[in-house]
Structure 1
Amino acid sequence: MPGGTKAAVSTVSPSYIAQSDPGAPFANQDGLVAAPNVDITREFVELAAAKYSFIANAKVIQAYSETTESLLDITT
């Protein structure tokens, strides 16, 4: 039975971007800190899509189970 959600992991180069924050205790001599190179909006959209895909797949399995159960119920 085909279906499911597929996840892919990939590396991003560079894994960080330099941001100016001279007041940070871990800033370098130029006042730059390493900030994550992640697009949080894209990640959230992908998370929501995976969530709804999982819910849809679970409902298909539930409907299959209920249909099979009612077809095999010969006592009614």
Structure 2
Amino acid sequence: MDGLTLFGLFAVTAMLVSYTLEDRSRWFILAFAGACALGSIYGFLQGAWPFGLVEAIWAVVALRRFGQRRPVDA
């Protein structure tokens, strides 16, 4: 497995984990946005620009959701 494939595996795994945990904290939404951005970079680097473009859009959507979700008082 080369470095680019490992990078893509990390990005997609981080997306899955952070998406699963989004209900626990708004910070997981931000983590999901970051993981989507990494997935986008991976898509463009490996030549799958449609994947890279869709992941970039998901990153923007997640950032918007992060900004709209209110912090929960402890």
- Does the pair score TM above 0.5? no
Structure 2 length normalisation: TM-score?
0.38
Q: TM-score normalized by structure 1?
A: 0.37
- Looking at secondary structure, tell me which structure has more strand per residue: 1
